Homo-oligomer: A and B are copies of this chain.
Amino acid sequence: MNYRAVETTGEYVARLETGADWRAEIESLAEEVDADAAWFSALGAVQDAECWFYDQEDCEYYPIEFDEPLEVASCVGNVALLDGDRFAHTHAVLSDADGNAVAGHLNAATVWAGEVHMRVFEESLEREYDETTELDLWL
């Protein structure tokens, strides 16, 4: 079991800017509060979204585009360093006007409204290439 005790040094709530990119906004928040490692959850709505699905055979991400307004029914993720930059690993569940849910690794989405809670850890997390999954993982 790869695990690490963490200490929370700061806790924040944020409102994402209408028209901005959902994930970039979360990374801006991490930047502003100087977070090299953090855990977050969020909710809201987006004007469109691009989710990624990881093909475990090809070891490649493939994009899935949604060009319509969607609720962000759930969003959970964490901030870690990837090649020296803050990266917000973001998964989300989105829903349309009929309530149908789509989901995945959220690469990009245009914010309609977004509310985030972020806990910043004292310890940093750093992503490194993992040979088994060909993903960049921390710990």
Question: Which residues in A have some Cβ–Cβ distance to B below 8 Å?
Answer: 1-8, 10-15, 17-18, 25, 28-29, 32-33, 37, 39, 41-43, 45, 47, 51, 53-56, 62, 64, 66, 69, 71-78, 89, 91-105, 112-113, 115, 117, 121, 125, 130, 132-133, 135, 137-139
Contact = CB atoms under 8 A, between A and B. Distances in A.
Copies of this protein chain in the complex: 3
A56 B47 contact: yes
B91 A74 contact: yes
Contact of A95 (B11, B78, B102, B117): B102
Nearest to A112: B56
Contacts of A18: 132-133
Contact of A64 (B17, B74, B99, B135): B99
A64 B97 CA distance: 8
Contacts of A132: 18
A3 B11 contact: no
Contacts of A54: 45, 69, 71, 112
A126 to B, nearest CB: 12
Contacts of A45: 54, 56
Nearest to A105: B71
